[in-house]
Chains A and B, each alone.
Chain A
Amino acid sequence: MTHSAITERFIKIKKADNGKKAFIPYIMAGEPSLSSTAVIVQELEEMGADIVELGVPFSDPVADGPTIQHAAMSALSRGVTLRKVIDMVKSIRQKSTIPIVLMTYFNPVLKFGLNNFIGAALSSGVDGIIIPDLPPDEETDFIASCHKAGPDTIFLLAPTSTDKRIDLVCHQSRGFIYYVSLTGITGSAISIDDSLKAQIEKIRSNSNKPVAVGFGVKTSDEAARVAAIADGVIVGSAIVKAIEEGRESFRALVKSLRAAI
């Protein structure tokens, strides 16, 4: 059986058996510009990122806190669209094989056309999708189509998730399971405690798919503590903020996060 690029990456990390976990930075596509996004992805790869999560800007990002909302509005104002982001992935693919996950709200995908989207994503080299407002019990035909040929469908679990939801999400996720570390929106304050550990263990007892933790991880210290209990660490708002501040901040943060995870 052939594995997806994302699954391959997790297998590779596990085989290395050196205590390192998957480092998954999130950036907003088109921020500060589409051409700079391609450069940033390349830099992330060079600095040791395992998987890159590319945010697609949307007018009404209900799962996001102020930092990512602001980045989305800024990207939208420059005309960044789902189509342009997919095209950009295609251009990145000429130089890089790093697994790329699109994080997009559902409406742009629906408007693109569900089957068209799958076709375009696959032919451009998109490896996975995270749709925060699409739980696995909606649009089941679309999800089933993704399961046939890809891209990987990565679903989310949260501290509020019941056993039944954990079962469903474990079953429907491909690539990895995205554990939302907190009851809230992106960029809130994380608390890394026993309950986080217990939830991750509970998910693991349901599934052997990797569990990556995101929402609220900002510092290298937090990243190290999360990496100790999860298979991967996703950092979004802090990186988006660092990109806004400039190249030096961005490189320094990514370097320290990579060292910690």
Chain B
Amino acid sequence: MKTGYFGKYGGRYVPETLIPALEELDAAFKALKADAGFQTQLRKLNAEYIGRPTPLFFAEKLTSQLSGARVYLKREDLAHTGAHKINNAIGQALMAKQMGKQRLIAETGAGQHGVATATAAALFGLECEIYMGAIDAKRQALNVFRMKLLGARVTEVHAGSQTLKDAINEALRDWTSNVSTTHYVLGTVFGPHPYPTIVREFQSIIGKEAKRQILKAEGRLPDYLIACVGGGSNAMGLFHAFLTDKRAGNIKYIGVEAGGEGIDSGRHAARFAGGSMGVLQGTKSYLLQDDDGNVLGTHSVSAGLDYASVGPEHAWLHDINAVKYTYATDTEALGAFETLARTEGIIPALESSHAVAEALKIVPGLPKSSIVIVNLSGRGDKDVEQVANMQSASV
């Protein structure tokens, strides 16, 4: 495969100004991946700062209620700052520090990646600016405050749809203007090469741990892996170590996109259900677009899945049938949000609730001996106010 490509997807579709920075980043990444000192530092931060390994929790009550497969939850919600995003932010910030950059910028949708980047910037003493769509900033006001508390500047983006897509545009423009001093901490397995590979590398710890943990708990590999897919970093993080393991040939992988108000409504972010090949923000992948190649608006109850395209490796895994992509609607996700809260005492992020919703659908139909791992990519504290408002309840 051509470097930077996953089948026909991927690439580096960016203005020429950024090409040298991407080449520099690629070289630094390759060098640091093989650098024992860097890896030791990263391991130490993973253990002592992020709190890894995160537990693999056997959801006993949910298992007995669904009366099908045995359900395990990979508890990324217990990582520092409350989501898997910190794995990548710490890794990239450490790289940026080594590369001599003084400033970090990032886009954020739900706010989790913004919080994670602001956290890493505080830890390493770097300047930090976070771009966030104005609509997202409103629906995730608490995360905006958290970022400011961590010393980051939060810039609301009023262009376009005022969501994640527009925040990425603005972050790319900032990076184009400040490329010599600034590292762009892209938050998902998206964007120009080498980002999809870098982010996958830092997130792949999720699957490496889960594999070790399930072998210890059950003495064998799982039958199903389920994760939600916005850009797709938590899913790649969980899947990668299994996809590359020759013993793991029988595992079924399921990526769950945001079905919003249903595919027919047009108000969704299910790229594989309604998209086609396109190029956006540096990469070729599946894209929700109109007949003239302009990017369509998306909708999801969860800001983190509300995005018109998807990581290029997912596009490739979709086309070669290695991963099955499906979707959960807003209603199904909200149902799963409540179910998990009541059954296991765990409030999942609305993003992760999409993965839980898929488990609720398929687990009852599976043999009791089978094993399912759901990636609980983040915790739902950030969503409580929104859900309360939707239910018109007062908290």
Chain A residues packing against B (C-beta within 8 Å): 58-63, 65, 69, 73, 76, 81-83, 106-112, 132-135, 137-138, 155-162, 165, 169, 180, 183-185, 188
| Contact between B179 and A59, CB atoms less than 8 A apart | no
Q: Are B17 and A180 in contact (CB under 8 A)?
A: yes
B173 with A161: CB separation less than 8 A = no
Taking each of A82, A138, A162, which has the highest tally of chain B beta carbons within 10 Å of its own beta carbon? A138
Are the C-beta atoms of B19 and A135 separated by less than 8 Å? Answer: yes
Additional A-B contact list (10), CB under 8 Å, known A106-B279, A110-B278, A160-B21? A59-B294, A60-B166, A63-B15, A108-B294, A110-B277, A112-B292, A137-B12, A155-B16, A184-B176, A185-B177
Binds A, one of B53-61, B265-273, B280-288, B323-331: B280-288
Chain A hits for B166, CB < 8 A:
60
Question: Which residue in B20, B159, B177, B277 is a CB contact (below 8 Å) of A165?
Answer: B20
- Enumerate 16 A-B pairs (CB-CB under 8 Å) in ascending A order: A58-B294, A62-B14, A73-B160, A107-B279, A135-B12, A135-B16, A138-B13, A155-B16, A160-B19, A161-B17, A169-B16, A180-B16, A183-B180, A184-B17, A185-B177, A188-B177
Nearest-CB residue, chain A, relative to B282: A133
A127 to B24, CA, bound (A): 35
Residue of B nearest to A162 (CB): B20
CA distance A112 to B289 in the complex (A): 12
Tell yes or no: B295 within 8 A of A by CB: yes
In the complex where A83-B292, A133-B282 touch, is A59 in contact with B160 (Cβ < 8 A)? yes
**CB closest chain-B residue, reference A106:** B279
Contact B281 A111 (CB under 8 A): no
Q: Are A60 and B281 in contact (CB under 8 A)?
A: yes
* CB neighbors of A among B1-47 (8 A): 11-21, 23
CB B74 to nearest CB in A, in angstroms, measures: 33
Instruction: Say whether, besides A62-B281, A133-B282, A109 and B293 are in contact (CB < 8 Å).
Output: yes
Taking CB atoms, residues of chain B closer than 8 Å to A159 are 17
Judged by a CB distance under 8 angstroms, whether B169 is at the interface is yes
Q: Given A60-B160, A161-B20, A188-B177, verify A111-B169 contact (CB < 8 Å).
A: no
Interface of B is mostly: mixed
For A169, what are the chain B residues with a Cβ–Cβ distance below 8 Å?
16
Give Cα A156–Cα B178 distance, bound, in whole angstroms.
18
Q: Are A60 and B17 in contact (CB under 8 A)?
A: no
Residue among B18, B159, B173, B281 with the highest chain A CB neighbour number at 10 A: B173
B245 close to chain A: CB less than 8 A: no
Query: In whole Å, how far is A76's beta carbon from the nearest beta carbon of chain B?
Result: 6
Nearest B residue (CB) for A155 = B16
Q: Which residues of A contact B289 (CB under 8 A)?
A: 107, 111
Contact of B281 with A156 in the complex, beta carbons under 8 Å = no
Distance, CA A184 to CA B176, complexed state (A): 5
Q: Which residues of B contact A155 (CB under 8 A)?
A: 16
B279 touches A110 (CB 8 A): yes
* Interface membership of chain B positions 311-342, coded 1 if the CB is closer than 8 angstroms to chain A and 0 otherwise: 00000000000000000000000000000000
B172 CB within 8 Å of chain A? yes
Nearest-neighbor residue (CB-CB) of A61 within chain B = B169
Asked if B264 CB lies within 8 Å of chain A CBs, one says no
Check B15–A156 contact: CB distance below 8 A: yes
Q: Is B52 interfacial (CB 8 A cutoff)?
A: no
Residue B75 lies at the interface, judged by CB distance under 8 Å to chain A:
no
- Complex partner residue of A60 from B21, B165, B177, CB under 8 angstroms: B165
A160-B18 Cα distance, complex, nearest whole Å: 8
- Bound complex: CA of A109 vs CA of B291, how far in Å? 11
Chain A contacts for B160, CB-based, 8 A: 59-60, 73
**Assembled-state Cα–Cα distance A160/B20 (Å):** 7
Q: Are A112 and B293 in contact (CB under 8 A)?
A: yes
Per-residue CB proximity of B154-198 to A under 8 Å, as 1/0?
A: 000001100001100100110011111000000000000000000
Question: Nearest CB to that of B276 among chain A residues?
Answer: A111
CB distance from B171 to the nearest CB of A (A): 10
List, in ascending order, chain B residues with CB within 8 A of A135's CB.
12-16, 19
Of the candidates A108, A157, A160, the one whose C-beta lies within 8 Å of that of B293 is: A108
Provide the bound-state CA to CA distance between A109 and B169, in Å.
19
Chain B residues positioned under 8 Å from A188 (CB to CB): 177
Query: Complex Cα distance A134/B159, Å?
Result: 23
Bound-state Cα–Cα, A107 to B176, Å: 20
Give CA–CA (A183, B278) in the complex, Å: 27
- A165 / chain B contacts, CB cutoff of 8 Å: 16, 19-20
- Asked if A183 meets B279 with Cβ closer than 8 Å, knowing A59-B294, A60-B160, A112-B293, the reply is no
B316 to chain A minimum Cβ distance, whole angstroms, is: 17
Collect the chain A residues with CB atoms within 8 Å of residue B291's CB: 111
Q: Closest Cβ of chain B: how far from A61's Cβ, in Å?
A: 8
Distance A191 CA – B159 CA, assembled complex (angstroms): 27
The CA-CA distance from A58 to B292 in the complex, in Å, is 9
A135 to B23 CA separation, bound complex (whole angstroms): 13
- A185 engages B12 (CB within 8 Å): no
- List the A residue with the shortest CB-CB distance to B165: A60
